[in-house]
Amino acid sequence: MKQEKPVIAEEANNHRRRLLEGMGQAVAEKGYADTTIADIVAAAGVSRRTFYEHFKTKAQCLIALYSAASSNALDVLRTAIDPAHDWETQVERAISAYFSCLGQNPVLLRTLFIEILGLGEEGLAARRRVNQALADFMLQVINVPARARRNKPPLQPDMAMAVVGGINELVLEAIERNRTDRLQELVSPSLQLVRAVT
């Protein structure tokens, strides 16, 4: 019996992963508003019962997808960091990698940046958690001991959050103008924004 628990947990994780992928696929094809739970489970290759074992609603599944996609984008940022370089080079590489990651699925990008806000308090809370993680990451990269040795004041948390908000607005504008294939053009203004507050 002891060996069955890890197998069951692994199967549950696999079902959850497939449901998130199914949600992403369905949203990419139909948009969030027109996506049904039937679409999600068909794309995931699981039953409706399996869906309800993991999520109470379609909105809850979208929030889980948002969190997973955001976690992936944050992992991309972390991987792009190389402490052997100065913080400006690290930030530029991280921002470029971040925009590359975001641009891989324009339809999903629109859903995750715009439709998440239509989910009310739960969607807003998910967005705030992600923005806080991004701001914390920025503080970690910029506020290094070498900065203090150059008598530069540390970047403050509220300014890091302001930068995250500014970059989000640049992405939203690109989405609204159907320019998600040109997100790399946002690297320069984003870096200018970081420099302006540091």
Answer yes or no: do 78 and 51 share one domain: no
What pLDDT score does 6 carry?
61
Q: With residue 145 as reference, give the H or E element that holds it.
A: helix 145-149
**Half-sphere exposure of residue 133, counting CA atoms within 13 Å on the CB side?**
16
Structural domain ending residue among the three candidates 30, 55, 80: 55
- pTM to 2 decimal places: 0.83
Answer yes or no: do 85 and 100 share one domain: yes
Answer yes or no: do 47 and 103 share one domain: no
Answer yes or no: do 64 and 51 share one domain: no
**pLDDT over threshold 50, residue 107:** yes
Q: List pLDDT tens digits, range 148-167.
A: 657 778 889 999 999 999 99
Per-residue pLDDT band for 147 (boundaries 50, 70, 90) equals: low
What pLDDT score does 36 carry?
96
What pLDDT score does 1 carry?
46
Answer yes or no: do 89 and 3 share one domain: no
| CATH for 96 | 1.10.357.10
Answer yes or no: do 143 and 70 share one domain: yes
Per-residue pLDDT band for 106 (boundaries 50, 70, 90) equals: confident
What pLDDT score does 192 carry?
94
Distance from C-alpha of 102 to C-alpha of 180, rounded to nearest angstrom: 8
Domain carrying residue 67: 58-197
Distances (CA, A) of 14 to 10, 47, 78, 88, 121: 6, 13, 25, 39, 28
Work out the average pLDDT over 85-94: 87
Residue for token digits 């890091």?
160
Answer yes or no: do 175 and 145 share one domain: yes
Answer yes or no: do 131 and 96 share one domain: yes
Distance from C-alpha of 24 to C-alpha of 121, rounded to nearest angstrom: 22
What is the DSSP code (8-state) at residue 178?
T
Answer yes or no: do 91 and 126 share one domain: yes
Answer yes or no: do 82 and 103 share one domain: yes
| CATH for 41 | 1.10.10
Residue for token digits 């984008």?
73
**pLDDT over threshold 70, residue 58:** yes
Q: If you average pLDDT over every residue of the chain, what do you get?
A: 88
- How much of the chain exceeds pLDDT 70, in percent? 93
Answer yes or no: do 122 and 167 share one domain: yes
Name the domain count of the chain: 2
**pLDDT over threshold 80, residue 9:** no
Answer yes or no: do 8 and 49 share one domain: yes
